Every structure is written in structure tokens, then in C-alpha cells.
Amino acid sequence: MVAMITQDGRLIVIGGASRSGKTAYVAGLVKNSRRVWAWDPEDQWAQLPGWQRVTRKDRLEAAMLKRGPQKIAYVTGGDLPPAFDFWARCVMHAVRYVEPLDAVAEELADVTSASKAPGQWGMLIRRGLKRGLNLYPISQRWQEADKTAIGNATSFVFFRHVGDEAPLYLKRKTGVPIEMIPKEPLHYVEWDPATETATPGRLPFKKPKNFPEKKAPR
């Protein structure tokens, strides 16, 4: 009997209020990654050194067929959910048929809802990790984003939240103690649901000097 060989990736769910440190945290995680793609509707990642800004579908499809180092930021406006589905399809094709990569999905509540993960994004979550995908979904409001990501997460990183609704939701869905969720920007807690271990931390900087401010989607 031949054993099936898989290369398991990680799904790290990131949550927190605007400007609490979420994107800067993930940027640090993927800084040295060989291949990274970002869903970048606010045109942040595309402005970082070494990143390629892609706005056209045909160019994203061309990028998904290429091997080797990549830092691809897909910047788009208009009707976001179909564009996000297309981005997720391209990520899945690249991971399955070309090479593993890391994928960052910004502002997930804008393109999903509090139900089963839709379309190609759901495929990424359910099938991408066993093909070496490391996935970093980010949202300010996880109570408004898809539950499949939370249900399949390897671990969680929570920054400051505004109001009481989000911490209560996160406790109910993940088990993280509410008192461990930070109340100050730049502070975070890493929550391992398997061991029920909470590890607090703090970003050692406000943000990189060249890290752009968020822009409204066009």
C-alpha cells in the first residue's frame, strides 16, 4: 500500500480593529517567504518594495503559471466578490499545479459573509493547505466573515477590537479568553485552539517606514 504524501500548510486567522497592527503583523510573517500573493483591494501590499502590482485578470493568470520567487498584489475595485473568487482560483491553480505559496486575504468581511466560505475561496481553505499553502485571512469583523476559515484555522492572532460584540463572538467560536484580547493597538494574542494556549505579544514598531496607509477601494 502506497502512503499519500502531503505537504501541510497553515491557516492563521488574523482579527482586529482598523490600524491595530494586523497587516503589519502579517507583513512580518511573510517578509522572507519565497512566493506570496495578496488580495489587495486597498492597494497597500502593492506599494511595498519588491512587490508586483497586478490589476488585470490576464496578467494574474500569466503569473499563476510561473515558477520561482513571486510577490504578487492583486489590486482591483468595482464588484469585489467576483474578483476575489477569481484571485482565489488563480491561487489554487498555482498551489496545485506550479509551486506552493503563501496567500494573504485582506478585509475578508467585504467579500464573504457569516456562512460557509464561497466558491474558490472555500476550495482554498478545504483543499489548499494539504498542498503546501499557507493562508492568512484578515478581517476587522470576523462575525461578518466566513465561518469556514475560523473552523479550519491552525491558529488565531487577535489584536484590539472595538466594542463588545467581536470579542464575545471570537470567544464563542474559538475559545480564546476575552480577557486575553488586547485593548491597545499593536498588542496581540496568539491563540492555539489545539492546546488552548494564549501567548501575548506586541509589535516592536508602529509600522515600517515605507508601509502605505490604507486607501479606499476604487
Band (pLDDT 50/70/90 cuts) for residue 147 is confident
Identify the residue whose cell numbers are 477590537: 161
Handedness of CA 193, 205, 74, 106 (dihedral sign): positive
Name which of 74, 10, 72, 62 is nearest 35 in CA terms: 72
Question: 6-64 pLDDT, tens per residue?
Answer: 568 999 999 999 889 999 999 999 999 999 999 999 999 999 999 999 999 999 999 99
What pTM value is reported for the model? Answer: 0.89
pLDDT score of 7: 62
pLDDT score of 133: 94
What number of CA atoms fall less than 13 Å from residue 4's CA on the CB side?
Answer: 4
CATH among 3.40.50.300, 2.40.37.10, 3.30.56.10, 1.10.730.10 for 12-202: 3.40.50.300
Question: 92-128 pLDDT, tens per residue?
Answer: 999 999 999 999 999 999 998 877 777 899 989 988 8
Question: 185-205 pLDDT, tens per residue?
Answer: 899 999 999 999 999 999 986
Q: Is the pLDDT of residue 4 over 50?
A: no
Distances (CA, A) of 10 to 69, 103, 106, 107, 108: 19, 10, 17, 19, 17
